[in-house]
A and B are shown apart, each in its own frame.
Chain A
Amino acid sequence: MPNRGVQNGVEIPAAVDPLIPQLYQTSKAENYGLTQARFEEILREVAAKLLPDTSASPGNLWLSLKIEDLALARGCAAGHERAWEVFLTRYREKLYDIAGYITKESSAARDLADSTYADLYGLNVRQGQRVSKLSSYTGRGSLEGWLRTVMAQEFVNRYRRQRRLVSLEEESEEGAQFAAPTLQPVVSANPKLTAATDQALAELSPEDRFILASYYLDSRTLAEIARILHVHESTISRKVDKLTKSLRKRILVGLTRHGLSRRQAEEALEVDVRDLRVNLRASLVQETSQSTFSEKKAEASGGDP
């Protein structure tokens, strides 16, 4: 196939040339302030990013992109007014709706939406040029979905930062300074059990480990996990059940390979202090309740002259 040459690291076969004007028209990029030449640059940039194999034809990739969303996003990133008019018409309310769904609280939602909008608009300037997050959108997924992901990422990053900051005043008012420390699970003293568990987990596929982590660590529902993986809920239900049972078997097999007998392996797996039904730990920890301290505080303040 004759090539037009290599540009920006992407070979453009001659057969792909007619695609670009067609895509330019379909994308309505002209309405968003983009020339065909600029639009072509954007397409090549996306192909360079998404096609690791530069000899592959980008035509199919370009045809699979959300081309109008891409044109709109890049028009906004370039600061074209008409693009922003369309963007705000379509997505302004949605930004707040998405933020509300993520944060579950109206003032936090407004805050999140406003800061995301600022990032998208490109209030940050780097080397004299405005930097808009919309420049990183490649059109693989929908623009709306991308906005959701950006806002979710911003929310998670903020929450992660806030968790590290502790307000001492708030803690003392709530009696937190008197609370018993949260005890971390004790590392198993049985290295063979740890090794067998690691081996069993390593044999699982990434999807299986993702399902287990989502269900047992994140407490996601089966329906939520199914939506993420685009399968039916019953599929996830069967998988969780099957994985849990097979993991136990694999760990037992691993322990027997480490020289334990079957009975010893079962005991090692069953008699983990964290698996005991009797919660000795809770019984031994001194109980503290806020109401008790509140009463004492009230008594103390009432008794003072």
Chain B
Amino acid sequence: MINESSTLHMPELPKIVKQRLREAVTTGDHPDPDTLNAFAENTRIDVDRSRVLQHLANCADCREIVALSLPQPDASQEVIRSGAPGLLSWPVLRWSAAAACIVVVGAAVSLRYRERTRVEPPAPASEIAELKGAPTPAMAPRPTAPHAADVPEVPESKTRTAKPEAHQLIAKKAERANSSNAPAAVAGAAPQPSEPNAPASTSNEVELAAASPAVKTRDEDMVPGRAKDALQSTNSAARATGGILAKQKIAGAAPFSASLPPPTRAIPRWTLTSNGVLQRSLDSGRSWQTMSLPAQGQFRALSANGLEIWVGGSAGALYHSSDAGSSWTQVQPTVDGRALSADIIGVEFTDTLRGTLTTSGGDSWATTDSGQTWQKK
């Protein structure tokens, strides 16, 4: 049981002290299992800890009982727990926190700077008309195009592959779009007859049309993955046209519009209060909202990853949200027909699919399919 690495650093205790510790006489009765268990679990009910510790300090047998009655240690990694987190060595923690603050502040400043520099006035109608009616060579996705001066060359193949995605996007977004403020010339754009560079011009017009519905899409209709795909496809076309498309899209959008993927806009922060209440902040901790969940007040651990959050608590209560808490699903882990009923004291999800729960009894419940099925370890 000796942890050699620990004893190497610990000073030796004089043997006289060990002897006197060993010879200390226990007074009073041994605490019953109920008391020892309450002590070991550090329950909220008052146990006379001082009296129990007094006995344990003198009684090797009771110390052995307490040590044996602890659940097997869990080898899981760090999870977010309710209550005061354990402290690592303070100097390391202090400098790590300072470095983290600097990185976060720097990232926030650079993001803000980038957003400001990207917001530009809408492209004049003349430019759009030029795009549509201009001879194909002028619309070619070449770096020599005047508006593409600062844009890296995009191979034709990329614009061609962007085309099918844009068509799909148009079909979907057209159902939901309220109205388009895109120039009529753009909305009515049709594929041009084939010429050496015709595919490029066709894709440009198609991408332009795709941009407008994307701008008009509401936040709740945006699927992050699709939004990213749409953004990538529109961006590649934007590069082809020398950046005009990008301007067009953003110009029609409100600040922090739906064209930005939601995770960048508002990554939630989560916390569990000391009495097991789950709270969320969407403004970097300036304000907190209490989540409306049936098991509020019983939560003990959570694991968050982007918009995904899993939270667990007493009597196997487990809830999952994949939209930063807008909607929740209660999950009932079951193995061989037996549902998890123990208190969940640890939750860890490394990605959307794979996660592990730790119970107060020391069991581990693992899933690799986002909670559809579970295995007990």
Contacts and interface: CB of A to CB of B under 8 A. Distances in A.
Interface string A185-226: 101100001100110110001110110111111111111100
Contacts of B71: 145, 148
A219 B2 contact: yes
A193 B18 CA distance: 13
Contacts of B24: 201, 209
Given A144-B361, A149-B69, A244 B10 contact: yes
A65 to B, nearest CB: 7
B338 A89 contact: yes
Range of interface residues on B (Cβ < 8 Å): 35 or more
A156 B10 contact: no
Contacts of A217: 18, 21-22, 60
Interface centre among B34, B41, B42, B315 (most CB of A within 10 A): B34
Interface string A143-186: 01110111111011000100000000000000000000000010
A218 B50 CA distance: 20
A142 B19 CA distance: 36
Contacts of B221: none
A234 B92 CA distance: 12
Contacts of B2: 219, 221
Interface string B58-97: 1011011111111111000000000000111100000000
Contacts of B9: 237, 241
B111 interface: no
B54 interface: yes
Interface residues of A, number: 74
Contact of A198 (B20, B44, B86): B20
A136 B87 CA distance: 37
Contacts of B1: 218-221, 224
Interface in B329-345: 338, 341-343
Given A64-B43, A221-B2, A275-B14, 7 more contacts: A65-B45, A102-B68, A144-B361, A145-B41, A230-B42, A237-B9, A247-B17
Interface of A: 50, 61, 64-65, 68, 89-90, 94, 101-102, 136-138, 140-142, 144-146, 148-153, 155-156, 160, 185, 187-188, 193-194, 197-198, 200-201, 205-207, 209-210, 212-224, 227-228, 230-232, 234-235, 237, 240-241, 244-245, 247-248, 251, 269, 272, 274-275
14 contacts: A142-B360, A142-B361, A149-B34, A152-B69, A160-B61, A201-B20, A206-B54, A210-B57, A212-B21, A218-B1, A221-B3, A234-B88, A237-B6, A274-B16
